[in-house]
Amino acid sequence: MNEKIGIMVLGHGSKLPYNKEVITAVANQIAEKHPDTIVRTGFMNMNNPTMDEGLQSFENADISNIIAVPIFLAHGVHTTEDIPQILGISREDRSTTIRLNGKDVNLIYAEPLGADPVIAELAYKRAIDAIE
């Protein structure tokens, strides 16, 4: 058995289409760059799949770990309270076990994107793009 890792890319959701488009594009880019990873999406509200539906979409995947990655820049009430509550994850442990395919699967909650050199470089690129 060659188990793969699962990543669920989490978005806030919006009535406007852009949020879902960006989250889906990020998920697709991760999947393209890392073909041994099973990537799904889940939204906190207003879009589908919901986070619960996103988790269920791993049902037939041969995985033992799902990492939920919030595509949020910084911690806030959604990343520290709402999302952990939706996922059934304690704020302290940042992980839990869920049942998929008749077996236990670890659900691990990653940190938001945060202050990272990649984010800083992207911000610089956006600034240069704005003046060109």
DSSP SS3 for 26:
helix
What is 39-68 written as a DSSP string? EEEEESSSSSSBHHHHHHTTTTS-EEEEEE
Catalytic residue among 12, 34, 75, 78: 12
Let me know if 12 is a catalytic residue.
Answer: yes
Largest CA distance in the chain: 55
What is the distance between the alpha carbons of residues 42 and 120, in angstroms, rounded to a whole number?
A: 26
Instruction: State the catalytic residues.
Output: 12
